[in-house]
Each structure stands twice: as structure tokens, then as C-alpha cells.
Amino acid sequence: MFNIKMAVAAALCLGVAAWAQTTEPVARYTFAEGAGEVVNDTTGNGNNGQIHGAKFIKGKAGSALRFNGETDYVDFGDAPGLKFTDTVAISAWIYPESVPDKHSQIVGRKESAFGLYQCIMLQSVLAWAVPNYRVYCSAPMGRKQWNHVAMTFNGKVLELYVNGGLRHARESFGEQISNDGAFRIGGAPPGFREACFKGLLADVKIYDRALSADEITHAFTEKPGLTEEEIAAILAEEVRKLAFTNELLAKPDTYDLDKRVVVALDFSGFGELPAGSRAVVALGRQGNAGALHEKNIELPTASLEASVTFTDLELLAGEYEVRAKVVNQDGQQIGTGSEGTFTWSKEPSWPDQTAGMKVLNNFVTELLDVKLPDDSEYTFTNPRAGWVFVASTAKVNTGARLWIGVGAKAREEVI
């Protein structure tokens, strides 16, 4: 055991020495090319990548590479210069456009190796995987805005930073970094387990050492030259050129426990709207012409999306609809309106727990929080269609196991 500890200590010392020698990234991608089919490594180390579909977007003071979330990626192949053993770090500016339906690869090798990922079905939350060990970031990464993300591994601890702050850290139990699979940016070819990322990337840096908190904080201060306002205007113009349906789309999302309805508006089907154009959104019983609530907002000129929120709603359980239309300054309707339906649920209840229920944020409601030392069974009602997260902790003796059953009558039937 003594010899093993000494060997590990020696390896860590060698790693520290290596950091001092290689302070600069081993690869950096600024996407300043502006055109072409190759992403160039600006460090001069020759870690260049082949572009498959992704497009350059240029602003007044900077550039980025945009991925369509379906078939776009940059392939670096086996990339000997991007193979690591004990330490690695990745820093990148990320502008996600959507939430993926499966893990989407942002930068790195395949999911069981290492890299940054956008997590499946979550509001732009990031994940980083190292062989058989994953660290997830619990803080959201804002959609349609720049986020600085950095992952760093010093041989012992995995750390994940979002916008300059440490979001998660875990010990690795001594695994070495896996270099399985090709190194890619933006996703994997069709047919692979990993999905493609939808959004923009800027200033991607790869290191063969761990980064300090100060280095990551400094990187967060170096904002991309391509601004969010420029991106919004470029994407809006792109969509307008693709299709003119002259139709407004409205999609209601309900938050029964919070007594809110948020209506997402998509007016990408219109051309350039007259100055002062507004969206009028009415909420009422399904099938009834009258409105229980009505709101109107001025539509932004640099975007193709907006939202209207109805708060403090006192609605009976049942079927409802929202009716939305676009009008000009004189109140005359422009194009075709839209309707969307939703069901307002009865308030869920369960023995002795309704009073303790908590709305934690827009996405999470705490349904149950119990602290009992013995075997227990609980029944609850999910207030809306969606995932339910179950967690349990316990002090156990050596060899004992913690068992959680969902919808199971016996341990052998556990899900």
C-alpha cells in the first residue's frame, strides 16, 4: 500500500511540473476564418478540424460557428494532439438555441470518455463525462444567450464551472481519462448515440492541464466579440427569408400550483412588421368566445419570439384556450391568429403533505419531503405531465443497500 501511495504522489508531482511548462492551451478555435471547410487551431499545434455542415457567423468584432442540431459537427479524427491521461480542461463560450431530446455533444470525445454535453430534456443543463463517471451541473445554462462553460480535471477532482462560478465538483476515484472515439466539436455523425448540439460556439480552448478558479474567472471576463444582439438579428433575418406564413403561433405552458400560464409566441412567419405592432392574447374557457383575462405586448424587433404571462389565476379545473393575434398601431389584425388549448388540473393532494408542498422554481415543485428511519410507502399525484425526481440518503452498515421502489409491490419488481 505504501508503494502505491508513493507512485500516485509522484504522478501528481509530475503533473504539476507539466502545468508549469504548458500554460497555454494545446488547441484554440476562434472561428475567425469566416468561410471554408476547416477550423484552424490558432496555437500552431496543428489540431485542425474538418467542418461538416456548420456555418460561420461574423459580427462587427468577432465570429462564431453555428450548428443546426441535426447533422452539423466538426471532426478532428483520432487527434493525437488532443489525447490526455491525467489532466485536461476545456473552456468555451456556448449559445444554446434549444433543449435536446438526447445528450448532445458540445466539445470532446464520446460520452463514455470526456467532454462537455448538453443534457437530455433539461433546461440547457450541462454534463461532463469521464470514464464511467459523470458530473452534472445543477445550474441552468441560459438559452439564446452566451454562457461561459469550463470543465477541469486535475487527476483527482472533476470540476464544472458556468459563467465563472463553480457549479459542481466530485472526486474521480483514480480513473484515467479515456481517449475512446474521435474528438469532435458540435456533435457526432448521424447514427451515433450522442446528438448534435444546436446553437453557436465561440473561443473554444483545450488544455492538457487543470485550470485554476482564477483562470476560469478571467476567461469569463473575455466576452465573445459577436454580441447577442447581433446573433438575434442575424437569426431573425435568416428565418424570415426561409418562410413567410403570415401566421402567429401560440403555445401555452401551465404552472397550476403557481397559478400561472405562460404563452410562448412565435411570429417568425411574418415579414418585417410595422413599428408598434403588438400581440393580443386572450385566455378563456374552451368553446366560449368571451375572455377571462387578456393581455397585449409590443413585439420586439430583434427577435422572432416573445411570451405573455398570466399570473395569480383562480381557475376552476377544466379545459381552457388562449387566442392570440398580431395587430398594428390602429388595432387592425395582421395575418392569421392562433389558438392553443390546455387543461387546468385540480390541486393534487396526499395525506399530511399538501401543506408542505413547495414551488421551488419555474421547473421544480417539491411534492414530498419526509425524514423517517424505517421502511415507508408514500403515494403522491404529479400536478402536470413531466419527470419526477426521487432521491434518498441513509446511513447504512457495511454491505447494506438503500432500496427505492417506484410503483413496485415487492423489491424484485423495483423499477
**Which one is predicted more confidently, 130 or 211?**
211
Strand 293-298, strand 278-285: pairing: antiparallel
Lowest mean pLDDT segment, chosen from 155-159, 321-325, 365-369: 365-369
Q: Which residues contact 252 (CB under 8 A, 6 or more apart)?
A: 261, 262, 263, 264, 322, 340, 341, 342
What is the distance between the alpha carbons of residues 149 and 89, in angstroms, rounded to a whole number?
A: 11
Average pLDDT on 10-20 reads 33
Average pLDDT on 316-327 reads 94
**pLDDT class of 130 with cuts at 50, 70, 90:** low
pLDDT score recorded for residue 188: 74
Ordered by where they begin, the domains of the chain are 20-237 (2.60.120.200), 249-344 (2.60.40.10), 348-415 (no CATH)
pLDDT (tens digit per residue) in 227-272:
999 999 888 777 766 667 788 999 999 887 778 999 999 988 887 7
User: pTM of the full predicted structure?
Assistant: 0.57
For the beta carbon of residue 397, count every other beta carbon within 10 angstroms.
5
pLDDT score recorded for residue 48: 97
Beta bridge partners, 249, equal: 266
Residue whose C-alpha is closest to residue 154's, from 138, 171, 129: 171
Q: Which residues contact 236 (CB under 8 A, 6 or more apart)?
A: 268, 302, 303, 304
Average pLDDT on 342-355 reads 60
pLDDT surpasses 50 at 16: no
pLDDT score recorded for residue 117: 77
